[in-house]
Amino acid sequence: MLLVVDIGNTNITFGLYDDEKLISSYRLTTWFKRTSDEYGFMITHFLQAAGVKADDIDDVIIASVVPKIMHSFNNSIRRYLDKEPLIVGPGMKTGIKIKYDNPKEVGADRIVDAVGAHYKYGGDILVIDFGTATTFEYIDEDAVYHGGCIIPGVEISAHSLSENTAKLPEIEIKPTDKILASNTILAMQTGIFWGYIGSVEYIINKFKAEVGDLKVIATGGLGRQVSEHTDLIDIYDPNLTFTGLMMIYKRNKALA
């Protein structure tokens, strides 16, 4: 079995594959001060909950945008699973050609999403990953990654609004029924959510004006809610990153 791991700024997500079938997933909060033992206990408990033993894991592949935790995390894989993890980065075969001023600047999460989307959906694709930051990535039908744009995630925007104002509170991010709000919390929820939807739709339309018709694929934490409130997103795929990691692993294993 293959353990795939996506380490983001807000969450670490685990996926467990039996060949190309995702059989279980798990999410925990990213925290810089965890030890390798803490990570090891969490990983082994996840495997136990899935009915899998540590000895059943053949390999581990990781995509990370958080360098600070990699020493502890990698050591947990070595100690508790007795595996040397594969780390997505420069030199790894992905099947995607990176057309970028400096390909080394492209985050592992963006590459993995591009691989997953091209493998599953083909054609000209715009991938939107609603994470801590929201990333927009264009991949053409020939598997060329052309880049895209990055905006603050909606939770960053909401936190910044409350953090930098004296009287505005932290709020739950959720859609509202109308734009005309009659209290402060509702006004913030309305403005943040629908303003965010508006910015996403505007960027999608700008991409289409620049490169032509696209299939738009969304993934990431808020992706489901956003997809339900716009007609411009064609597919919401919560496991897109897992798919990309699995395909990168299979490609590199075959070339080994």
Q: Using one digit for the tens of pLDDT, what is the confidence trace for 171-218?
A: 888 888 889 988 988 988 899 899 999 999 999 999 999 999 999 999
Asked if residue 123 is part of any domain, the answer here is yes
Q: Which residues of 236-248 are buried (b: 16+ CB within 10 A; e: fewer)?
A: bbebbbbbbbbbb
Asked if residue 256 is part of any domain, the answer here is no
Which domain range does residue 166 map to? 97-244
Last residue of a domain, one of 36, 63, 87: 87
Asked if residue 62 is part of any domain, the answer here is yes
Total number of domains constituting the chain: 2
In this structure, the answer to whether residues 69 and 108 fall within a common structural domain is no
Give alpha helix (H) positions in 9-86: 36-49, 70-81
In this structure, the answer to whether residues 64 and 116 fall within a common structural domain is no
CB contact set of 243 (below 8 Å; sequence gap of 6+): 115, 116, 119, 120, 237
Q: Which of 1-5, 218-222, 246-250 has the lowest mean pLDDT?
A: 218-222
In this structure, the answer to whether residues 116 and 194 fall within a common structural domain is yes
Paired with 26 in beta bridges are: 14
In this structure, the answer to whether residues 34 and 83 fall within a common structural domain is yes
Q: Which residues of 193-204 are buried (b: 16+ CB within 10 A; e: fewer)?
A: beebbeebbebb
In this structure, the answer to whether residues 107 and 231 fall within a common structural domain is yes
Which amino acids are annotated catalytic?
A: 109
First to last CA, the chain: 18
Query: Which pTM was predicted?
Result: 0.91
In this structure, the answer to whether residues 13 and 78 fall within a common structural domain is yes
Last residue of a domain, one of 39, 58, 87: 87
Does residue 255 surpass a pLDDT of 70? no
In this structure, the answer to whether residues 224 and 170 fall within a common structural domain is yes
pLDDT confidence band for 256 (50 / 70 / 90)? low
104: CATH: 3.30.420.40
In this structure, the answer to whether residues 129 and 205 fall within a common structural domain is yes
In this structure, the answer to whether residues 70 and 110 fall within a common structural domain is no
Q: Which residues of 55-70 are buried (b: 16+ CB within 10 A; e: fewer)?
A: eebebbbbbbbeeebe
Asked if residue 254 is part of any domain, the answer here is no
CB contact set of 78 (below 8 Å; sequence gap of 6+): 84, 85
Express each pLDDT in 83-126 by its tens digit: 999 999 888 899 999 999 998 899 999 999 999 999 999 989 99
Q: Which tokens in the block code for residue 169?
A: 């509170």
In this structure, the answer to whether residues 47 and 106 fall within a common structural domain is no
Express each pLDDT in 43-94 by its tens digit: 999 999 999 999 999 999 999 999 999 999 999 999 999 999 999 988 889 9
In this structure, the answer to whether residues 83 and 101 fall within a common structural domain is no
Asked if residue 252 is part of any domain, the answer here is no
Asked if residue 92 is part of any domain, the answer here is no
Last residue of a domain, one of 58, 87, 116: 87
